[in-house]
Chain A
């Protein structure tokens, strides 16, 4: 099979009617995938909402709550740190846009630079999430990180939904970092065009957008 056989990425120019649209097949498929993936996130967030809505206690985070409801104390989520991660992810979306813009202007070097920064931002976010879960190799004391502080997967809905939703999102970030790295290599080898970057960017912005929802629902809504 020749390499061209599966290459259907050319922008279509036939027939000149709005019903055929000019969106490339790859871009359309990415939009459809994101729509689909959005529904899988909705499934999880819906579960989160229903479980949280019907729970008496959401997060046994203070001694007072523990005393009143007789639950085992759990750590509160660190909003400040995660806000920093959120900011980081938004910045990586900006660099993604700049990377695409450079590519449109034909500046492959600029595109590589900005894309590299995007990948770095995503990777740093993942490091931050690991830090939040496990701590950073005992750097700040052996009992650092939510897992060590007693946020136990499976113990309460507060803990389980936290790990499920942020973990599912983390997997998306990981996928994004790997995907963008592959695109970076392809771009360095001169095999990509602005469309490739746009499609990859769609995925990245989606991951970013979903994080903003996750951050709002999981971290920001007070008890």
Chain B
């Protein structure tokens, strides 16, 4: 089965390169400034989960406002909005929807998906003992902490945090539209978190290129690693563009330059320039938030349908082509900004072309499940939920990519529903699936299956109902970001719809309690996890204990096959089980080493 010959020198060289790190004994370098990728992953996880809670509560406030405009918020209203008797005020509302978006994207999904699983999975799944630059990895986390602190600080200053929408369009985001230090602090926080992302990205890319174990060829890598690696590339390339846009905006806000100040604000700048810079980054960003999830889903489909991933190479090529295409479609965010029709058509065409590789991925997932012996474990349920919401979101996106329909749907709740289904819900469900999947490996304890399923059903029904409710509202003309939509006659009849959507949102929020209970209970009192509870063949399950030792692998594994070897008849006959590890030698299998020794 091995398609290459390995020499003893190869393996010795691998051992030499990846010498085992000595586990530090002192408190600081063990628990605070750790350079261990597994520990940094956990740091990112906690930081991300706390902000996910924060962003989620902000979402609940938005939904309260849309269900019961200007009525006092129960429980927390009096404390948060004392001057209005507990009701959300218009300025507070602007801050809430703006920071909800920014926090979820940059401070919740990014650290959980890329910070946690990028750090945890990449070295373990490619058979490396750590990242290429463990210290850079540590700096990346602490720089990220600085940006989180800046974000928190922005809430504490006069006039409150950012309020110009998550896209931060000028002139609204300049001093004219949003005065006060809060907006500046948030832009600075984005700049700093960008530095952290770039540090992480360079580390991930280098690790995957240089630190794969012997025999781990590109197409023997789990799809998870592919997704995270492509994400890292997009991050390294496009985050700097956001950085330069943020820098110029900060200059405008603090040093009186006029890059983006114009129009009624009386400046000489060009607000559209910001939109260009923002979306050059912003469109790849939405793929940054979905590529790792695609990777997880490709793997989970195969792991839990007990079948090889259908056309695995096709899926990988599809992910690569989406990554490339993501760089050339950003104009579809600006159809109504005023764009040459020819350019608009080019952007429309390129955007629609993305659905081809996306469809390939989709069909491959379905084909992988087809006639498989599906095990409906919690990670698999979340993966199925991801496929479902991503499908819904993808289909609704076609109407936004098409100029003629986008002119009507632009800036309505349809857009909000669409990107929450694709980017937010898929990333949300996918990340939780990944967390349930790798939790035993991270903490050495099993999670509770029943609570996991409760969490899943609340989550999947919740997100589907909430965001489909938004799609319907948007299709009926309800614009996004309205403080009180029902003061407009033509939206008045959508009040009941909004109310029921909000009830689903509250149920979705309440359902997360199942996760919180499960997480803490499993963390402290969960059953001790087995080495390989899911019967899968990737290296972190077959070659590491749960949790792995500090240096991951006692011996650097020799990889013999791909990650998706399930129900292979030869394996069934020889080993009597339906899976085989990537580094597991079959009886009588020639892996090339003995042959050389015999010479």
Contacts and interface: CB of A to CB of B under 8 A. Distances in A.
B13 interface: yes
Contact of A153 (B4, B202, B257, B277): B257
B428 to A, nearest CB: 28
Contacts of B255: 153-154
Interface string B186-225: 0000000000001001110110011110110110000000
Do most interface residues of chain B lie in helix, strand or loop, or is the interface mixed? Answer: helix
Interface residues of B, number: 57
Interface string B243-273: 1110010010001111100000000111001
A50 B132 CA distance: 39
Contacts of A36: 198, 201-202, 236-237, 239-240
B539 interface: no
A51 B270 contact: yes
Contacts of A13: 9-10, 13
Given A35-B237, A40-B240, A40-B243, A12 B13 contact: yes
Interface in B352-410: none
A5 interface: yes
Contacts of A19: 217-218
Contacts of B574: none
Nearest to A42: B241
B133 A25 contact: yes
Contacts of A157: 258-259, 268-269
A37 B198 CA distance: 10
A46 interface: yes
A20 interface: yes
A90 to B, nearest CB: 25
A54 B244 CA distance: 20
Contacts, number: 136
Contacts of B493: none
A216 B237 CA distance: 24
Interface string A6-42: 1010101111110111010100110011011101101
B133 A4 contact: no
Contact of B243 (A16, A43, A50, A54): A43
A171 to B, nearest CB: 11
Contacts of A154: 255-258
Contact of A16 (B7, B29, B257, B273): B7
A5 B35 CA distance: 10
B451 interface: no
B342 interface: no
B24 interface: yes
A19 B213 CA distance: 12
Given A6-B133, A47-B244, A25 B206 contact: yes
B11 interface: yes
Interface in B124-142: 132-135
Contact of B277 (A46, A54, A160): A46
Interface stretch (B15-23, B46-54, B155-163, B500-508): B15-23
B541 interface: no
A61 interface: no
Contact of A1 (B11, B22, B239): B22
B134 A5 contact: yes
Contacts of A40: 240-241, 243-244
10 tightest CB-CB pairs across the interface, nearest first? A43-B244, A40-B240, A14-B13, A14-B10, A39-B240, A13-B13, A43-B241, A25-B132, A15-B10, A5-B21
7 contacts: A1-B24, A5-B21, A8-B132, A20-B209, A42-B244, A51-B270, A54-B270
Given A20-B209, A164-B251, 16 more contacts: A4-B19, A8-B17, A12-B210, A14-B11, A14-B13, A21-B210, A29-B202, A35-B237, A40-B244, A42-B241, A42-B244, A43-B240, A50-B273, A51-B269, A54-B270, A153-B255
